[in-house]
Structure 1
Amino acid sequence: MRKKRNKYYFLLLVICFSYSVGVFAQYPTVRERVINLPTFDQKPIHYGYFLGLNQYDFKFEYVENYYKELGYKDVTVIPKSGFTVGLIGDLRINTYFNLRFEPGLYYSRRELQYPDISGFEKESDKIREIKSTYIHLPLILKISTKRINNFRPFIMAGFSTDFNLSSNSKNRDDNASNVFRTTAQNLNYELGLGFDFYLYYFKFSPSLRGIFSFQNELVPDTDPNSPWTGIINSIFSRGIAIIITFE
């Protein structure tokens, strides 16, 4: 299920990129009468804000004997839609490169559905809902093409850190009390692509972002044989976000 979802995200990125290339190839034939915000990209620093939607998944790494000896199936992750808001600070490096700081608030929900594992007393024990409220602090390098009239494609890459306000990392209760704990901070790398549209009063930019954690976020239960965390070595967040910026 998770592999299919990751393939879907990858396919969506490829389609968006292919579309941008097609538009890039055709757009020079269009002759715009008015060039909006002609000096906007020459500013050394500018600011803005963004809104968006997100969906987060988990990548699991299980104990060594999870599949062969125990014969368990994967934990199923059902991502729920969340929202994103934040601010933008953009530093111009040169014509094609900008360094951006985009602090934001990311809210997400995920539901874990465990397979049949010995240790669960009732059916509801197999389900855990994880709510995350991230203070998201990314540093992003934005690489843009040459502007074509009022249109400009770009790609983005960078690193970010998250502070999870809903991690329960210091909570003494664990899954035995229906509390799934994760770390309070994690590190990610990010990739994305999008388009700048220069309107009369501001620049409007939709983009698609992928957010990939490379730090283990699991806080194990007190019981080392817990059916919720005893079978898992580590978990890593994987997120996709549709962001709309106004600058």
Structure 2
Amino acid sequence: MKQFFLVVILLTLFCNGLNAQFNENPILNIENKDKNFLNYGYFLGFNRYGFKFDYKNDKGPRNTDVQVLESTGFNVGLIGEMRLNEFLDLRLEPGLYYNARTLGFPGFLDTDEGRRDAFREVKSTYINFPLLLKVSTKRYGNWKPFLVAGPSASLNLGSNEQSLDDNSSGTFRLKKWTYNYELGFGIDFYLEYFKFTPSVRGVFGINNELIPDNDPNSPWTSNIDAMRTRGLFVNFTFE
């Protein structure tokens, strides 16, 4: 609900300015903004993190798969952009991404103890370091669409990689570093005093993040071959 009201406020603040961007002959705002070799800014936004599982025995029924209950988290970070030419920019967007996911494991008895064992909450606070290539179209009046893609590395501040406890003690372990590739799109809107950019980006983990339990027959991790992050970012950028 809080996220909904924030989006409404942002849209209200900029609706008058954005309405003028699509006039036939708009007054051009900050015409030389993109001609600077270096540009800086910051972003705020939301995220939805999940996991993609690969199983050692993938021939079993679907109701034996791990279930992921996703939630909405928040993002905040900085932007540094280097102009390569009129259509290409190299961007570094270090940011803090907070989220919590709940994993549901099948096969536990419907008792108080079984229900406790069947669920594990995975809280994650990532510092994400993406290096992105931004490919833009030509500027149309006061707006410009673009695509963005590139690799990223995420440091999980909530990682328990060094913990000796595992799921038998209620601890679901994840690796400290995650490596990803990111793909997205957005639109630059040139307002009177700054550039406002809403964008959507998908995040796809490359490495296996799971640290298996000590017991090779663990009911939680024994059938998991790999677990990789999947995520969606919605960012609002101010430059």
Letter in 2 for 1:50: F
Q: Which runs of 5+ in 2 are unaligned?
A: 1-21
**Alpha-carbon distance between aligned partners in 1 of 2:191 and 2:70, rounded to the nearest angstrom:** 35
AA in 1 matched with 2:208? N
Match of 1:13 in 2: none
Corresponding residue of 2:35: 42
- Superposed CA RMSD: 1.8
CA contact (8 A) 2:134 2:146 kept: yes
Partners of 1:175 and 1:80 lie apart in 2 by: 22
Amino acid at match of 2:77: G
Is 1:198 matched up with 2:190?
yes
Aligned equivalent of 1:61: 54
Shift of 1:72: 5.2
Normalized against structure 1, the TM-score is what?
0.84
Return the alpha-carbon distance in structure 1 between the equivalents of residues 94 and 119 of structure 2.
32
**Match of residue 107 from structure 2:** 116
Deviation string, structure 1 residues 175-206 (Cα, Å, up to 9, x no partner): 11111101100110000000000011110000
Q: Does 1:230 align with 2:225?
A: no
Cα offset, 1:67, TM superposition? 3.5
The question of 1:30 aligning with 2:24 is answered yes
Shift of residue 63, structure 1, vs aligned partner: 1.4
Q: Which amino acid aligns with 2:145?
A: P
CA contact (8 A) 2:199 2:235 kept: yes
Shift of 1:142: 0.4
CA shift, 1:221, in A, is 0.9
Instruction: Return the letter of the residue paired with 1:96.
Output: F
Structure 1: unaligned runs, 5 residues or longer:
1-26
* Residue of 122, 135, 139 corresponding to 2:127: 135
1:55-204 equivalence runs, <5 A? 55-64=48-57, 66-68=58-60, 73-116=64-107, 122-204=114-196
Over 3 Å counting, the alpha-carbon distance change for 1:104 and 1:35 in structure 2 is same
For residue 92 of structure 1, report the CA deviation from its aligned partner. 0.1
CA distance in 2, matches of 1:158, 1:117: 41
1:55 Cα offset (Å): 0.5
Give the number of equivalent residue pairs.
Answer: 217
Say if 2:48 and 2:232, in contact at 8 Å, map to a contact too.
yes
In structure 2, relative to structure 1, the CA distance for the partners of 1:234 and 1:176 (3 Å cut) is same
Matched residue, 1:4: none
User: Among the aligned pairs, what percent are the same residue?
Assistant: 50
Cα distance between partner residues in 1 of 2:213 and 2:160: 12
SS of 1:122's partner is helix
**Take 2:48 and 2:219, find their aligned partners in 1: how far apart are those partners?**
26
Distance 1:30 1:149 in 2: 8
Question: How far apart are residue 153 of structure 1 and its match?
Answer: 0.6
